[in-house]
Amino acid sequence: MAEGEPKAAAPLASTTLALEASVQARTPMLPYGRHTVVEADIQAVVEVLRSERLTQGPVVDAFEAAVAEAVGARYAVAFSSGTAALHAAVFAAGLGPGDEAITTPLTFCATANSVLYQGAQPVFADVCPDTLNLDPSEAARRVTPRTKAILPVDYAGHPADLDAFLAVADRHGLVIIEDACHALGATFKGKRVGGLSHMTVFSFHPVKHITTGEGGMVTTDHQGFARRLRVFRQHGIEEDERHRDPHRPWYYEMTELGYNYRLSDIGCALGLSQLTRLQANLERRAAIAQRYHEAFGSLPGLRCPAQRSGVRHAWHLYPIRLESPTHGMDRAKVIHELRARGLGVSVHFIPVYWHPYYRQRLGMRPGLCPVAEDAYHQLISLPMFHGMGQDEVERVIVAVADVFRALA
């Protein structure tokens, strides 16, 4: 039997619990996402470990410059996570108590939480039925005199309708903070994600396109935002000469309530090395998506993720949808069957305002965004990562076809 194939379970009658557990442990569950680390990455990290500086050193600057260059932005500021980067962007945009920011419910909770961190109110607007990205006209309907920002998310790696959001922002004087944690390397109408919105946020968590272990980045063309991002990352301490004193080298000024949200040189070395393979990673993900499209296009009850013309999709996720109500398949049952066949499928995402914190502490109720809620019941994320072997891709296709033919 080839490496990576699920092993048949041992006969139940003769197994102890321990043996059963060990059989299960050896059955490789194919995850929905996974990092790849190569020898050159390890060498890059070791080099930093042998150097003078483990943090606040030259590799941070080099990684920031490389990401800025890769996405076509003037500035890039590294953070300890994508979540810290989102928080900093919300701070840099000037949000505080009494302000509102509009975002999508179909995202990881960190997007909306970052608004709460600054004491402002997240306002959820519904998504487009095809891409499941925040719908610009729904967002525009939720603008009030208190709205300061919109946080669109490039769901699954498909860029949000950025032209439309920038037009809404122009009309109302808002800041667009694009959560592009799924979309490093994506393009929208020929322009790179990262250089389009007022601020764009990336994550380098291991399930994303490149990793630093934990890490994130904000890219922007605006010097003022870049300055505020840097201050916020470092306790609110000013870096600028005007806040220093040539006669007192120890002197510095803290002017804002910031955090320690720095990314270390160790993480940045890994990120710099990983970044050299970004285009290859994107191409591999696109090839897997293409193969899935071909294989699933004719399966009853299954809808493949949409791609609008004029975008390069980054394929962070491959979320299929059950075509209900015509087929009436039970999503929980489909997931159970797929997992029984060794596919570690997942769901992206539980609508954020359904979480107990949002219901109990903020008084939000189901029914707010019906398109997103309907989609939530249909979504299943299949394995999608650049390190997938062709045998693993084919394994997914066989299992999915098997389950959908049996249940349809």
Ligand X SMILES: *Cc1c(COP(=O)(O)O)cnc(C)c1O
- Per CB under 6 A, residues contacting ligand X are 81-83, 107-108, 110-111, 153, 179, 181-182, 203, 205, 216
User: Given CA atoms 27, 31, 42, 386 in this order, what sign does their dihedral have?
Assistant: positive
Q: 299 with 405: CB under 8 angstroms?
A: yes
Q: Nearest approach, Cβ of 346 to ligand X (angstroms)?
A: 12
**What is residue 181's DSSP assignment?**
T
Going through 259-361 in order, the beta strands assigned E by DSSP cover 302-303, 311-312, 318-322, 343-344
Nearer to ligand X, 122 or 216 (CB): 216
User: Which of 7, 189, 191, 208 does the annotation list as catalytic?
Assistant: 208
Spatial separation of the C-alpha atoms in residues 289 and 280, rounded to whole Å = 14
Q: Nearest approach, Cβ of 347 to ligand X (angstroms)?
A: 13
DSSP secondary structure string, 212-261?
-SS-EEEEES-HHHHHHHHHHHBTTB--SGGG--TT-TT---B-S---B-
Tokens of 219: 């890219």
Mark whether 7 is an active-site residue.
no
Helix (H) or strand (E) segment spanning residue 79: strand 75-79
Give the CB-side neighbour count of residue 63, counting CA atoms within 13 A.
33
Nearer to ligand X, 103 or 187 (CB): 103
Nearer to ligand X, 111 or 378 (CB): 111
Q: Nearest approach, Cβ of 300 to ligand X (angstroms)?
A: 31
Please give the residue whose beta carbon sits closest to ligand X in the complex.
82
Nearer to ligand X, 229 or 329 (CB): 229
Q: Nearest approach, Cβ of 151 to ligand X (angstroms)?
A: 9
**Would you please indicate which residues are annotated as catalytic (active-site) residues?**
208
